[in-house]
Amino acid sequence: MNPEIEKFYKGDYPILLTAEQIQQKVRELGEQISRDYKDLCPVFIGVLNGSYMFISDLMRHIRIDCEVDFVKISSYGDAMQTSGVVKVRKEIDCHIEDRDVLVVEDIIDSGLSVTYLEKKMGELKPKSLKFVSLLVKEGSAKVKYRCDYVGFRIPNRFVVGYGLDFAQKFRNLPEIYLMD
């Protein structure tokens, strides 16, 4: 095993959320969204790279017709704090005009990515636009934002695992760990 990964499994970093806690919350979110969008066919837009595990598991609990697409943005690079500048790496491919759209994030901290995506997606004239985030960091917002479906509110600490990374590492951990 890689020595860096082994530190997580040996307990060098505390677990914030267990795999079981995460899966229970993802199930609850999927059930709630399925009820809220009954008889509709929303488009889920995952924000890469961080949301890939979350949106994959979330889709397993969505019990309605839907579509999935992805956008890739970056505001961290290899740092532990946002640079404050959102860069688009991949645009969506689907047509969202007059569609119900749910943007799926792994984590919201500064709010810059969410407000950027709200403006950018809003320009494409969706019928409705809502945001889903597995994690929301408390006390770290730099701008006012909205999030319609929140999995967990967490302390303003740096976390990795379950899709969240540090310098593209540690996304494959099944739990969410405090790393700072």
Task: Give the residue-averaged pLDDT of 77-95.
Answer: 70
Task: Give the residue-averaged pLDDT of 135-153.
Answer: 89
pLDDT value at position 79? Answer: 47
Residues 6+ apart with CB under 8 A from 62: 30, 33, 34, 44
pLDDT value at position 99? Answer: 98
Q: Name the class of domain 21-159.
A: alpha beta
Distance separating alpha carbons of residues 129 and 148, to the nearest angstrom: 9
Distance separating alpha carbons of residues 105 and 101, to the nearest angstrom: 13
For the chain, domain boundaries = 21-159
- Please check the confidence at residue 72 and state whether its pLDDT lies above 70: yes
Residues 6+ apart with CB under 8 A from 80: 158, 166, 179, 180
Tokens of 26: 């993802």
pLDDT value at position 82? Answer: 52
Q: Find out whether 108 and 114 touch, Cβ atoms under 8 Å.
A: yes
Dihedral (CA of 130, 34, 27, 97) sign:
negative
At 4, the pLDDT band (50, 70, 90 cuts) reads: confident
- Please check the confidence at residue 161 and state whether its pLDDT lies above 70: yes
Of 35-49, 54-68, 70-84, 154-168, minimum mean pLDDT range: 70-84
Higher pLDDT, residue 146 or 180: 146
> What mean pLDDT, rounded, does the chain reach?
91
pLDDT value at position 171? Answer: 94
Higher pLDDT, residue 65 or 84: 65
Identify whether 98 is a catalytic site residue: no
Percent of the chain with pLDDT over 70: 93
Query: Which amino acid makes up residue 4?
Result: E
Catalytic residue among 65, 109, 148, 180: 109
At 83, the pLDDT band (50, 70, 90 cuts) reads: low
Note the pLDDT tens digit of each residue in 108-141.
Answer: 998 898 999 999 999 999 999 999 999 999 987 7
Distance separating alpha carbons of residues 102 and 69, to the nearest angstrom: 10
Task: Give the residue-averaged pLDDT of 167-178.
Answer: 94
Count the alpha carbons within 13 Å of 155 in the hemisphere toward its beta carbon: 9
